[in-house]
Structures are given as structure tokens and as C-alpha cells.
Amino acid sequence: MKLSRLFNILLFVVLAFSCVRVSNPVPEYGNVTHLKQVSDRGVLRVVTDFNSTSYFIYRGQPMGYQYEMLQELADHLGVKLEVSVNNNLEEKYEMLESGEVDLIAVNLAITKERRKIMDFTVPHTQTHQVLIQRKPSDWEKLSMKELESHLIRSQLDLADKTIYVQRNSSYAKRLHNLSDEIGDSINIVEVDIGSEKLIEMVAMGEIDYTVSDENVAQVNETYFDNLDIETPVSFPQNLAWAVPKGADDLRYAIDTWLTDFKKTSKFAVIYHKYYRNKRSADIIESDYFSNISGKISPFDVTLKQLSGDIGWDWRLLASMVYQESRFNPHARSWAGAFGLMQLMPTTAKRFGVGPGSPPKMQLRAGIMFIHWLDKRLSDIENVQERGKFILAAYNVGLGHVLDARALAVKNGKNPDIWEGNVAEFLLSKSDPAVYSDPVVKYGYCRGEETYRYVAEILERYEHYKNLVAE
């Protein structure tokens, strides 16, 4: 009996200690886990590069390998994506350490030095570093043997060469190591210029050499045919994203998703779209590749002129026009709306335009309509908030927005705040119990489409502000 009792006590102790080990708390930051912070905020804040593969605007639409991957991640986490751009590596590290962002989303090579200040996700891609050099001016007339004689093919031949690389990059670290390995000096010049710009400088003859990841080099080779990218300078490397040191819960959530996502056809499509697509050159050379041209649409000059009439940032107006018509002045909807601003015939007639009116007149009529709405919502003092109401009214009609404001007042919400207040009542106007309320004058409304309309315009506007000058 005593032995049995002793056994039970020992068993209880073992189980108790087992439970303690299994239920170790997830590492916390300020007593709140990183993942919970993201979830409670409803926003995943990231910093990435702006270049021709990571993140850019093309014909008014945000695009890029990092951008599309991040959007998939944010959708998986059930939060919104907030993108910042910064091509300075040191400043990215500071943004992560200070808590300004949750994630650095670029092609970061995993190194021991970097592991001391940040934690890495599982790799999203693998690549190796290559030397970017320029072919001789008459390279097309040369035989393969003659061409090869003009190019560096052995890493030993990098001795005494001057190579420009981004400051504090893995390329700089690799070249310093390579200099030791070949037992000779490589003149390594570290600059605050991104990898793609340095590649362009090689192609333009401004510098002779730089180093880049092979996948990025392959993209740039498609539109600079005088580049050679065949000489490797490193072994294969894992490229990953970075989270704050100790953010184990957020890192685990990203790792779990990324491991599964990389097995999907969707990941393959995204990767090939940006790293294997021969149309990359067409995008870069387009007038509407905003990272180089600074343009969003063919109508930028007019949008800049007219936006002043309503006190809007022209990029917000551009985002609205994109939402309405994708910048197509001949667009027609099933309901009869037409043109760049998708005005309904009755509204268009009031402001003096028709389907055959030139683009500038279409835009001017849309501006006049926005001004008309602005006057009728002028009691909303906050200009940014009023803009959201104007967008909603432009889409669904002023009457439905006024109904939603009246419902907000009746239910103790703020009628001058869109998100979480008036928007909630517009969303509920498809419910008979709501649209039959005595304060409702305009009846049924499917508010979900309008809610998305406002959100998408504002989200795209943030991308335009990131990448296009005011």
C-alpha cells in the first residue's frame, strides 16, 4: 500500500514537471507577444525595397515579388498590409529594432553577424552572388573566345579591381572574405545605393563592377543586353525575411505559412512572374513604370492641375481614377457609367459631359462632382475623414451615406468618423431591420462594395505616396 502511494506521488511530480516544460510561455515583447500585437493592431507593418522586382507601381497598380508575397501573408494572418520603403539597410535594421516595423521583407542573406541583431524566417528563395560586368562595346561582333578574353571569369582576377556594392550588404561581406581567400586586395567601395541602381551604373559605363544576387541580375540582364552575369563570387545562399530578435511567435507563424505556401502553384507563378518573365524589360522601359518615370498614368499633368481645385493630393485622385476606370477614357459599365470617372449619364449631363467628351473634360466633370459632395459634407471638419465620406458618396450616392451617418448618431457612434462608425452602418444597410429604421430615408444599400471601394483607393494611395513624388 505504501509503495503504491509512493508511486502515485512520484508519478504526480513527474507529470507536473512535464506540464511545466510543455507549457512554457511564448516569448513576449512588452508583455504582449509580437503576433498578438499584429493581430490586435489589425496591420502587418513591413519595410521593403523599391526596385523592379521587390515593389513598384506599373500602370497605376502596385506590383512586385515582395509585395505579392507580403499580401498573401497578410491575407493568411487576417490583417491589412502596411508597406514602408527604404533602400538603406542600416535604416531598415533601425526600423525593426525600434518597433517601427514588424518585418524586413527583402532578399536578406542569412549571416552570423545579422543573426546577432535579428531573427530570420525560413528562406523564401535561394540564390548565389555573381559579378556584374560590362561586355566590350563591340561584343556582338566578337567570337565567343574573343568575348571571353575581355571578361573576368576567375575570382583571382578580381585582384586590384574596384567593385561598388551597397553599404553593409552581404555583397560587401563576401568581397572582404574573397579578398582574404585570393590573398590579394580588392578595392571594395561601399555606397548608399541599391543593388539595381548599381547594376544600371555598370550598364551605363559609370562604374565597371558590382555584385548582385543572381536572380536579380537575371532580371536586369533582360533589359541591359551589354551586361555579363556569368561569374559567380559565392556559394548558394538562403534569402529570408527578418523579424525582431525574440519574436518567436511571429516568426513561427510566418515560417509555418511560408513552408506551405512555397509548395503551391501560386508561389511558382509569383516567382516566375518577377524573376523569369521576359516581359520585365517592357515594364521597366514603360513610361508608366513609376520607380523610374515618376508617372502613374497618361493623365498625371491634368490630375495635378485639377486636384488643387478640391484640395486633394493628386495621387489620391489618381488612385480614385484607377479604381473607376483603370485610366481608360472609353470604359463603360453594365449600369451605363462611362469614362475615366465613371459618371452616370444623369450626373454627367449635370456637369456638361457625355461619352464622347475628351479625357480632360471627363476629369473636370468628376472634380466638379467631388466638389459638390464636399460642400454637402462640409460639417465633417477633419479633411482626411471627409475625404473617405466623399469617396463613399461618389460610389454609392450621398443619400446612403447620410442615412449611415443618421444611424451612427442614433446608436451613439461618431457620425464624422468613417472606420468603425459610419462605415459599420453602411455595411448593415442591407439588413431589413436597419434599412427600415425611421431615420433611413434612402432604403436598401449593399454597403460592402462601397466599403471595399474606399479601402482599396486609400490603400493604393499609400503605395503611390511610397513610390511617386508629390
How many CB atoms are closer than 10 A to CB 254?
26
Q: Tell me the C-alpha to C-alpha distance, in Å, between residue 225 and each of 134, 136, 139, 232, 464.
A: 9, 11, 10, 18, 30
Q: Is the dihedral of CA 325, 330, 331, 336 positive or negative?
A: positive
Residue pointed to by grid coordinates 572582404:
176
Beta-strand runs (E) in 117-161: 118-120, 125-127, 129-134
Q: How far is CA 341 from CA 36, 137, 315, 402, 453, in A?
A: 41, 49, 15, 22, 14
Q: Using alpha carbons only, give the angle 121, 76, 446 rounded to the nearest 5 degrees.
A: 155
Amino acid at 105: A
Work out whether the CA dihedral 428, 433, 436, 437 comes out positive or negative: negative
Look at residue 463 and give its three-state secondary structure.
helix
Total residue length of the chain: 470
Count of Cβ atoms closer than 10 Å to residue 114 Cβ: 19
Structural contact between residues 238 and 121, judged by C-beta atoms closer than 8 angstroms = no
Edge to edge, the sheet with strand 162-166 lists: 187-191, 162-166, 209-213, 129-134, 227-232
- The Cα 141–Cα 147 span in angstroms is 9
How far apart are alpha carbons 327 and 341 in whole angstroms? 9
φ, ψ dihedrals at 230, nearest 5°: -90, -5
Whether 324 sits among the annotated catalytic residues: the reply is yes
| C-alpha separations of 307 from 18, 310, 382, 419, 460 in Å | 66, 6, 18, 24, 17
Give, to the nearest 10 degrees, the angle between helix 195-203 and helix 214-221.
40
Residues 6+ apart with CB under 8 A from 89: 166, 167, 168, 169
Catalytic residue among 200, 324, 385, 459: 324
Q: What is the DSSP letter of 51?
A: B
> Cα(439)–Cα(109) distance, rounded to whole angstroms?
60
**Catalytic center residues:** 324
